[in-house]
Structure 1
Amino acid sequence: MDFLRSGAATFVAARAAADAGDARRAAMLYASLAAADPGDRSMARRALSQAIVGGDMPLALRLIGQQPAAGLPVEAQLLRISQYLQTRSSAKTEYPQQIAFMAPLVGAWILAERRRWKEAVRLLDGVAADAPLAGLVPEQKALILLAAGRSSEAQPFIQPALAAARGRSNRLRIAFATGLAAAGEREAGLTLLTGRDSTLRAAASTLAAERRPRPLIATATQGYSELLTALAVSLDGEEGRSLALSLAQVARYADPRSEQAALLTALLLDRSWRGADALSILRSIPDSSPFAGEMRDAEMRVLLGADRQEEALARARAFVASNDKQAGDWLRLGDVLDAMGRHGEAAAAYDSAVSALQSGGAGPELWSVHLLRGAALEQAGMWPQAESALELAYRLAPENPTVLNYLGYARLERGQKLDEAEALIAEASRRAPDDASITDSLGWAQYKRGKLSQAILTLQRAAAADPAQAEINEHLGDALYAAGRKYEARFAWNAALVTAEDDVATRIAAKIAGGLSPATAAP
């Protein structure tokens, strides 16, 4: 009876730790339950899954050794392969049915590591076009061939691999560029790193300075880590987030030097309400890394998401102080200040980012920074200066839908240059017909210009595309009420009230209660 009571308390504590995001503690508690009752496989499985999610691979591997291989969850099976590649403790590894699709790609890396690259490529050639990992075959061929020094054979696979890279484009560009340089084609490698992107610029600088570059991904464990990272990226949705985090943790275990795996793990930890663990990983990346800028961006998101604004501001200022020539650091500072409601200071930071870019620094297109500066100035109540910044963004990017919409809508709200405002928004909508926010702007412009029937149709289209956006539903309700369709208007306002906040929610509630009036009309 005492064991049952203590076991129940331990189980409750384990569940609470897991719910709180403390996966390591949950794993240890579940493991103690599994040790006390070896016949209860469910506790062992819980312990194993939590250990992998928490990155406690020594515990996870110990638990794997205590369980039948056939009953292991997918993430544990993948961890076993990683251990095999690191230790080669047995003649071969096993691929249960759940992960059989991994066999040819892992096998190709094992062959490549033994300098049997021709056999490795042939093995990849055998992957069916409809296989789960078929989309990764071009990048795997390119990486294996570059590791073997066969740059000419690798070249045809590089662009198809980059086209399918999703969020790993920078990582693959750097890996391909380094591989080309290691094979004696430094200029070809540097060509892959051209552009304004700060990560690629940093990588190009490092590569140009290296006397004897070596391939970034050249071993079976490194290749396997890249495979798992790609899988984790593809699974990063609400339903697959837990498995994605497990795969990212195994990828880090397979290749502890992979900054891409570290960044992905940190982002997934933060989305799993484990911001402290995410920050620990992010801050372990050295400032000399090409991915330092991406790590800093991620750190700001974690801190702001946790409402640690003052800490975010201190870190952003420290980044600027370390090198005030980096546009990215000024942009991060501006974003933090803007999030804190200090819009005038944010605009000044964005202005410094403009100066850094005009001096030849890496970073986004200049128009986008002028747009940010204009938006901050508008929020600060400095409309004449904001309009100048927005007009400059428009001159630099006259076909960009975001710029067209923002400038047009800002003028519409102020009742200025209404013909031009509507024309700008209409052009934005033509260029981005599926953007619900831009469609809403067009409908609101039509409403402001007295085109009521047309406005209702446009706003209904916007609401159908994004039914959760409060601003769209409020606009639709106002237009319907003005057309005498009061029941439908209240239905739209009630939909808006579901996601509306603060003063907007108060205004909508007043309309639901008393109808539309000049005092309750949307701006």
Structure 2
Amino acid sequence: MDFLRSSASTFVAARAAASAGDPRRAAILYASLASDPEANRFVGERALGQAILAGDMPLALRLARAQPGETLGVDARMLLAADALRSGKGAALVERGLPTELRFLEPFLKAWTLAERGRWRDGVAVLDAIGRDNMLAGLAPEHKALILLAAGRTSEAKPLLEPAIAAARGRSNRLRIAFAAGLAAKGERDAGMALLGGRDVTLHNAAASLAAERRPRPLITTAAQGLSELLTALVLNLDEDEEPALPLALTQVARFADPANEQAVLLLGVLLERSGRFDDAIMLQRTLAERSPFIDEARDGEIRTLLAAGRKDEALARAKAFVAEDGQQPSDWLRLGDVLDAMKRHEEAAVAYGGAVQVMAAGAAGPEPWTVHLLRGAALEQAGKWPQAESALELAYRMAPENPTVLNYLGYARLERGEKLAEAEAMIAEASRRAPNDASITDSLGWAQFKRGKVTEAIATLQRAAAAEPGLSEIHEHLGDALYTAGRKYEARFAWAAALVSAEDDVSARVSAKIGAGLTPATAAP
């Protein structure tokens, strides 16, 4: 009975730790039960899953090896494969054959293990033979290029680089940096540097680092590193609405397979934040070295996590520290502006965005200038400084007259103030033509039509916006106002009720008043 009471207590504590977002403690507690002969397989599986989620790979490997192979989940099988590759046992792993759940990885791992043994031609042939039914078939050119670069076959790799980058989604910077390093390592530094051009701060950092390296080395040369890239790409292609446990586990395995994969670190930080493990995310984001090309992305992630955790004062202190530490970087000023804007300190945010403008004017690398002027104009407009805001927004418009975001923001700001209505409607209509699937812009167009007295046309446009983005309260409020004006008061109250679901406090009060007493000049949306 004492054992049963002790086991039950430990089990409850383990479940509580897992629910509280502490998988490390949960794994240890589950493992203490799993090691007891009276504990069942279910507890062992839970311990293994929690250990992987926590990134405690020594514990996870011990637990995985103690369980029958056929009972292991995909995450544990991936971990064992990664361990085999890191241990130099990749060839035996591939010859033995991967479990059915991992069969889609087999040609990639076979190609890499062949390349590791100097048989790069055979590895490339394996990749060329991958069928379209393989869920990762689109990554074959990328891995072919990486294997060719590792083998020093730069002329054969070059035609594959741009198509691979174009297909990389959120990994394009990672691939550009890896390809550039591979080219530079074989004496083609200029070709590598050409892949790192443009305004992107991560690529700018990578270019500076590559230029300073006396003996560049390829970043991805082993089967374990190849698996890490595959898993990172796989996670990025998963549905964002999926339960985060599997993507988190696979990313932990990707990081284990290649601890130097900074893309995996950044992705892991995002997934930890999404799982509510804010402290773990922040600690991880702070592990990147100051000289890392991805340091700005890590800092962005840290600030985003602090804000998501409601730690706004800490986020502000960190953002200010980044500016003080390296105030010549536009990214630091932009980050500070974003924090201040999130705190509704809009006028101070505008000053910070102005700091980014100044350092960019002095030659520092940064985003397209119109984006910074748009941010500054938006902050000034929120601060009630309309003349200054309009000036900044017009400057952004002159720099990017065809950009739908600029067209929409300037047009809508004028619409709200009843200024230059015909011009405002024309700008928003052009924005909608250029971005027809953007629900916010469709909403702006419908509201412009309403303001111009085209009520029937406005209702149709606003209904289209609401169907495309049912979670935006502003759209539903606009639709309710238009319906009420058209005499469709019953439908208007349904629209206003939908607006209440996600409305902020000030909007909620206005919408509630309309539901109770109907639309009046005092309660009309601006």
Equivalent in 213, 217, 224 of residue 216 of structure 2: 213
Query: C-alpha separation between the residues in 2 aligned to 1:416 and 1:245?
Result: 50
For the pair 1:414 / 2:417, whether they are aligned, the reply is yes
1:65 maps to 65
Alignment of 1:135-146 (within 5 A): 135-146=138-149
For the pair 1:374 / 2:381, whether they are aligned, the reply is no
Query: C-alpha separation between the residues in 2 aligned to 1:282 and 1:458?
Result: 43
1:389 maps to 392
Alignment of 1:26-425 (within 5 A): 26-37=26-37, 40-88=40-88, 92-93=92-93, 94-235=97-238, 237-425=240-428
1:489 maps to 492
Cα deviation, residue 142, structure 1: 0.4
Give the residue type in structure 2 aligned to 1:333.
L
Structure 1 residues without counterparts, runs of 5 or longer = none
Query: C-alpha separation between the residues in 1 aligned to 2:195 and 2:351?
Result: 34
Measured against aligned partners, the alpha-carbon deviations of 1:88-109 in whole angstroms (never above 9, x if no partner) come to 3687114111101111111111
Query: C-alpha separation between the residues in 1 aligned to 2:436 and 2:523?
Result: 30
Cα deviation, residue 285, structure 1: 0.5
Cα deviation, residue 5, structure 1: 2.7
Cα deviation, residue 274, structure 1: 0.4
1:16 maps to 16
Query: C-alpha separation between the residues in 1 aligned to 2:274 and 2:401?
Result: 36
Structure 2 length-normalised TM: 0.97
Cα deviation, residue 237, structure 1: 2.0
Query: C-alpha separation between the residues in 2 aligned to 1:90 and 1:197?
Result: 37
Equivalent in 445, 457, 462 of residue 459 of structure 1: 462
Query: C-alpha separation between the residues in 1 aligned to 2:492 and 2:450?
Result: 14
Query: C-alpha separation between the residues in 1 aligned to 2:34 and 2:326?
Result: 52
Query: C-alpha separation between the residues in 1 aligned to 2:387 and 2:441?
Result: 23
Query: C-alpha separation between the residues in 1 aligned to 2:455 and 2:267?
Result: 48
Q: Is the CA contact 2:91–2:110 (under 8 Å) kept in the aligned structure 1? A: no
Q: Is the CA contact 2:75–2:249 (under 8 Å) kept in the aligned structure 1? A: yes
Cα deviation, residue 2, structure 1: 2.9
C-alpha distance 311-515 of structure 1, shift in aligned 2 (>3 A): same
Query: C-alpha separation between the residues in 2 aligned to 1:86 and 1:152?
Result: 29
For the pair 1:518 / 2:521, whether they are aligned, the reply is yes
Cα deviation, residue 446, structure 1: 1.0
Query: C-alpha separation between the residues in 2 aligned to 1:40 and 1:153?
Result: 54
Cα deviation, residue 360, structure 1: 2.1
Give the residue type in structure 1 aligned to 2:337.
G
Measured against aligned partners, the alpha-carbon deviations of 1:402-422 in whole angstroms (never above 9, x if no partner) come to 100100110111111111111
Query: C-alpha separation between the residues in 1 aligned to 2:525 and 2:164?
Result: 48
C-alpha distance 90-190 of structure 1, shift in aligned 2 (>3 A): closer
Query: C-alpha separation between the residues in 1 aligned to 2:289 and 2:392?
Result: 36
Counterpart of 2:430 in 1: which secondary structure? helix
Query: C-alpha separation between the residues in 1 aligned to 2:470 and 2:75?
Result: 37
Give the residue type in structure 2 aligned to 1:6.
S
Q: Is the CA contact 1:235–1:243 (under 8 Å) kept in the aligned structure 2? A: no
Give the residue type in structure 1 aligned to 2:203.
L
Cα deviation, residue 74, structure 1: 0.6
Cα deviation, residue 515, structure 1: 0.7
Measured against aligned partners, the alpha-carbon deviations of 1:108-132 in whole angstroms (never above 9, x if no partner) come to 1111111110011011112112211
Cα deviation, residue 468, structure 1: 1.4
Percent identical pairs in the alignment equals 67
Query: C-alpha separation between the residues in 2 aligned to 1:103 and 1:493?
Result: 54
Query: C-alpha separation between the residues in 1 aligned to 2:113 and 2:239?
Result: 28
C-alpha distance 38-68 of structure 1, shift in aligned 2 (>3 A): farther
Measured against aligned partners, the alpha-carbon deviations of 1:170-206 in whole angstroms (never above 9, x if no partner) come to 0000000110111121111111101000100111111
- After the TM superposition, which of the residue ranges 482-491 and 79-88 deviates more from structure 2? 79-88
C-alpha distance 89-412 of structure 1, shift in aligned 2 (>3 A): closer
Give the residue type in structure 2 aligned to 1:405.
N
Structure 1 length-normalised TM: 0.98
C-alpha distance 373-91 of structure 1, shift in aligned 2 (>3 A): closer
Measured against aligned partners, the alpha-carbon deviations of 1:468-494 in whole angstroms (never above 9, x if no partner) come to 111000100011101111111011111
Cα deviation, residue 235, structure 1: 2.2
Cα deviation, residue 7, structure 1: 2.1
Cα deviation, residue 447, structure 1: 0.9
Cα deviation, residue 352, structure 1: 1.0
Q: Is the CA contact 1:236–1:244 (under 8 Å) kept in the aligned structure 2? A: no
Give the residue type in structure 1 aligned to 2:352.
A
- After the TM superposition, which of the residue ranges 11-20 and 171-180 deviates more from structure 2? 11-20
Query: C-alpha separation between the residues in 2 aligned to 1:70 and 1:124?
Result: 28
Query: C-alpha separation between the residues in 1 aligned to 2:37 and 2:504?
Result: 51
Give the residue type in structure 1 aligned to 2:269.
A
Q: Is the CA contact 2:296–2:331 (under 8 Å) kept in the aligned structure 1? A: yes
Give the residue type in structure 1 aligned to 2:366.
G
Counterpart of 2:3 in 1: which secondary structure? helix
Query: C-alpha separation between the residues in 1 aligned to 2:367 and 2:175?
Result: 20
Give the residue type in structure 2 aligned to 1:362.
A
Cα deviation, residue 240, structure 1: 4.5
Measured against aligned partners, the alpha-carbon deviations of 1:337-379 in whole angstroms (never above 9, x if no partner) come to 1111111111011011011222222121100100000010011
Query: C-alpha separation between the residues in 2 aligned to 1:326 and 1:499?
Result: 36
Query: C-alpha separation between the residues in 2 aligned to 1:272 and 1:474?
Result: 32
Q: Is the CA contact 1:279–1:299 (under 8 Å) kept in the aligned structure 2? A: yes
Q: Is the CA contact 1:235–1:241 (under 8 Å) kept in the aligned structure 2? A: no
Cα deviation, residue 222, structure 1: 1.5
Query: C-alpha separation between the residues in 1 aligned to 2:241 and 2:330?
Result: 33
- After the TM superposition, which of the residue ranges 94-103 and 268-277 deviates more from structure 2? 94-103
